[in-house]
Amino acid sequence: MSVGEYGGNAKEPDAVAKLRSIVGSRNLEKFLMVGIDSVRKLADYTPADLISLKVLDEYDEAARVIRMAREAVGETLLLDYKRRVEIRSLPRLTTGIKAVDELLGGGLEPGKIYGIAGEFGAGKSRFCHQLCVTVQLPPDDLIRGIASKMGIDPDRAVESVLVVDSSDYFNMEEFLRREWPSFIEEGYKLLVIDTLIGPFRQQFPGREEGYKLLVIDTLIGPFRQQFPGREHLAERQQRLNRVIGWVLKHVRRRHLYCVITDQVQAEPTYGGSLKITGGHVLAHGMTYWYWIQSAGSNVRRIMAYDVINKAYGESALFKITDDVLTDV
Ligand SMILES: Nc1ncnc2c1ncn2[C@@H]1O[C@H](COP(=O)(O)OP(=O)(O)OP(=O)(O)O)[C@@H](O)[C@H]1O
Ligand SMILES: [Mg+2]
């Protein structure tokens, strides 16, 4: 995309026009060239990014446009704090395995990055696949959480609500008229649905943008391939850092659930020992670290490795079967 595309009679999209008002007409093309085509995107960059991408030369100028972009999209410290408090009240994502949910304190928290490490064949990918399914489960737990916040009996709310495919959440009334006309007549039930859907929309903007679980099944894998050898280590770590920073912003802003798996590497110590790959950048970048180990042919142990409110080593077992991961 370039400024030229909007020449002649083509109308410049609003997002680009807003960006132009911040970065100025003279610089706009450079921003578009590197894929920064909205104020929202600009707000995610850092001054050092803009300089290394050769979009701007001066640090102060880069810092100024980023500050303006962040203010324009409401990325202020106060909002960030509010968002964190909000996220804490959102429901957790079940893994479908009771023991593991208990270990996780009820499931995965939104807005956090879960690092899952383990040797090849440990079950990291299977774990992620399972989350891709559980994230689509009927939203009973979500409804329970919202209902209790609103002072409605959670069980009654769940009973009263008709569970529909997520694509129908935002057109509930039409869905009900089509699928279940008699439901409409039972006014009190519809009332519950209406009351629930409003906060549901507000609380899950991620849903309206189409997804709420972000899985990166091996972040380090491609970095290991593309930056082989110690001579590329510094650049690899810097880029890795930038990717993690970007992921964290998105996960927080959209209230997403997020899992990043990681490979392990051997440390040359007597008796052998394993550590996570990606150095301090990856180690510090995840909110929580869990480690999956084999505990028998089809049994796995998931262990708290670096979790703020848990002792190292606290663990739960699960079983790999042909289809799902289950309790042992
Ligand atoms: N029905 C089954 N019963 C027991 N074990 C199974 C079954 N199906 C798959 N497995 C085991 O599950 C593991 C698959 O794990 P998965 O692919 O999730 O590992 P991973 O941690 O992602 O590994 P990698 O680092 O190589 O990506 C394998 O060890 C496989 O032997
Ligand atoms: Mg895998």
pLDDT in tens, 299-323: 999 999 999 989 999 999 999 998 8
Tell me the residues surrounding ligand 2 (ion) with CB < 5 Å. Answer: 125
| Closest-approaching ligand to the CA atom of 265 | 1
Distance, CA 118 to ligand 2 centroid (Å)?
A: 9
CB-based burial of residue 224 (10 Å sphere; 0-12 exposed, 13-18 middle, 19+ buried)? Answer: middle
CATH 2.50.20 for domain 3-72, yes or no, is no
In the sheet where 315-320 sits, what is the strand order?
213-216, 257-262, 113-118, 288-294, 299-306, 315-320, 325-326
User: From atom 13 of ligand 1, which residue's Cα is the shortest distance away?
Assistant: 121
Give the pLDDT confidence score for residue 190 in this predicted structure.
Answer: 46
- Only one residue has tokens 């706009």, namely 28
Mutate to test the pocket of ligand 1, among 119, 120, 219, 224 (most ligand atoms within 8 A of CB): 120
CA dihedral 136, 138, 140, 143 (to 10 degrees): 70
Mutate to test the pocket of ligand 1, among 320, 322, 328 (most ligand atoms within 8 A of CB): 320
Structure token digits, residue 314: 């606290």
Q: What is the identity of the amino acid at 251? A: V
User: From atom 31 of ligand 1, which residue's Cα is the shortest distance away?
Assistant: 121
Give the pLDDT confidence score for residue 61 in this predicted structure.
Answer: 96
Same fold, 3-72 and 90-327: no
The CATH number for 90-327, chosen from 2.30.38.10, 3.40.50.300, 3.50.50.60, 3.40.50.980, is 3.40.50.300
Question: In the structure, what pLDDT confidence band is assigned to residue 173 with cuts at 50, 70 and 90?
Answer: low
130 near 275, Cβ under 8 Å? no
Question: Any idea which of 21-35, 41-55, 283-297 has the lowest mean pLDDT?
Answer: 41-55
Alpha carbon distance 164, 138 (integer Å)? 8
Per domain, the residue ranges of the chain are 3-72, 90-327
- Provide the whole-model pTM: 0.72
The tens digit of pLDDT for each residue in 45-94 reads 889 889 988 999 999 999 999 999 988 987 766 666 777 777 777 788 88
